Structure formats: structure tokens, C-alpha cells
Amino acid sequence: MRIKLVAGNWKMNKSLEEGTQLVSDILAQLPPLNGRVVFATPYIHLSSVAPLLKGREGVYLAAQNCHQEEKGAYTGEISASMLRSVGVDYVLIGHSERRQYFGENNELLAKKVDITLSKGIKPIFCCGEPLEIREAGTHDDYVAAQLEASLYHLTEEQFRQIVIAYEPIWAIGTGRTATSAQAQEMHAGIRARIAAKYGAEVANDTTILYGGSANAGNAQDLFSQPDVDGGLIGGASLVAADFVAIVGAM
């Protein structure tokens, strides 16, 4: 069964005190949920946010990244086991900023998907095209290649644990947003590709989020599209009232 979901990706923002206050403010204002709400915080917030979410139905904790190895001499890194030990339910894998700034490629991301699944953590797998690919008209094949290289080695049972987040990179932090029709077209295309690999039932059950500058003003229109199951929210997740409004549009 397909699950609606809104995830707030704080990126590298908020002190420990500010983050705790933000979550408290959001939880106090949340409407009755029609799906799941996920807080993807920086590492330092995970242990303090987890108790705030405990016992609250429909709210979950996510990390923004993890290392692809179980453990070892990887100074500055965090393993999936560590994340699970503090109550992490989801982890972002392959966010466009990780691909762009840290050189994460499809092969590496496949390893990260595998390690998170092995620890009982659900990956939110990010995919999407830069502006030059969009303008060249090859965005469908570009995104399909990302999915194939990083996810299609999974069994059907494993794939059912995946959440897809489509990020039109040209619309992240630029003020440009894909139209609801563009978002729907891409999400439908992604679902069709999944169906070709894993069958229509798996594809229909897969949650696909939109992750390109969604905000309180456009969330209702975006989320009304049949293949848009929620959003991966960046800047708007840092303001309680805005994030709550987006959740309400789910």
C-alpha cells in the first residue's frame, strides 16, 4: 500500500537548542495526519529529537546520510548501526548535494542502500537531473539510469522498503519549481520504470516524493497529482508554520 509522506531535510542548519525547539513547535501544531512526517536532522540532533517523537503515531526520524561500511577507520563518518541505535527510521541516500559536493556516484549509493536496509532502516533514495540534462531532453533516461544502477539489484521484498524522492536539481534552492504537470510527468515515468522492473503492484505501492523547492504555497497543487505522494522539503522545513502547512496539504 502506497504511503503518503512529507520529510523535512534541515540540511546543515539549526543549533541543538534551535532544532529541539523547532520539532516541539511543529509537533504542537500538527493537524491529524494523512500519512507520515519525517524529520531529517543533522547528526547532532538525532538523540535529542528521538525522545520527542517517541509515542507519537505517524512521525519518524531520519538521518541525512550514512557511511557504506559497517564500521572501521573512517574518521568523521557515521554508520547505519549507529543511526539505528539512536532510533533512526529513515535515511536520505544520494541527495543531489551529496552527489555534487561529495562525489557520490551510483555504485557507492547502491552500497549505502544495502547497508541501511540490512539494519532495518528505510532509504529515501534521491534521484534527479541537472539543468543541462533537462534542457537536452534526456532527463527521463538520466533518472532511469540512476534507479537502475543503485536500486535494481534489490529483491522485490527489499525494493518495497524504498522511498523515491525525485529532485529536479535545477529547482533546488533556485526559486524555480517544476510545475505540477512536470512533476506528475516525471513521477509517472519513474513509476512506469519501476513497473517494468518489479511489476505494476510494486510500482503502485512505491512512495514517490517531490523534492524541488516545494513550499506552503505550491504543496497543495503538487500533492494533488496522482503520482506525487508527498515531498522532501528543504528550506520550508526550517519554519514550523510553513512545514505544518505543507504537511496539511498531504
pLDDT of amino acid 193: 97
Task: Mark whether 57 is an active-site residue.
Answer: no
Which DSSP symbol is given to 155?
A: -
**Digit-coded pLDDT (tens) for 77-96:** 999 999 999 999 999 999 99
Contact residues for 104 (Cβ-Cβ < 8 A; gap 6+): 94, 98
Q: Is 155 exposed, middle or buried (0-12, 13-18, 19+ CB in 10 A)?
A: exposed
User: What CA–CA distance (Å, rounded) separates 22 from 24?
Assistant: 5
User: What CA–CA distance (Å, rounded) separates 249 from 155?
Assistant: 33
User: What CA–CA distance (Å, rounded) separates 45 from 209?
Assistant: 24
**Digit-coded pLDDT (tens) for 98-151:** 999 999 999 999 999 999 999 999 999 999 998 889 889 899 999 999 999 999
Task: Mark whether 148 is an active-site residue.
Answer: no
202: cell is 510494486
pLDDT of amino acid 173: 63
> In degrees, to the nearest 5, what angle opens at C-alpha 171 toward C-alphas 129 and 16?
105
pLDDT of amino acid 170: 82
pLDDT-based confidence at residue 52 (cuts at 50, 70, 90): very high
Which DSSP symbol is given to 170?
A: G
pLDDT of amino acid 6: 98
**Digit-coded pLDDT (tens) for 171-226:** 776 666 678 999 999 999 999 999 999 999 999 999 999 998 789 999 999 999 99
Sign of the alpha-carbon dihedral angle for 216, 220, 222, 223: positive
pTM, two decimals, is 0.96
Domains of the chain (ranges, CATH numbers): 5-248 (3.20.20.70)
* Residue tagged active-site, from 67, 97, 167, 187: 167
pLDDT of amino acid 171: 77
pLDDT of amino acid 208: 98
* Residue tagged active-site, from 95, 97, 129, 139: 95
Cβ atoms 166, 183 nearer than 8 A:
yes
| Mean pLDDT value across residues 13-30 | 98
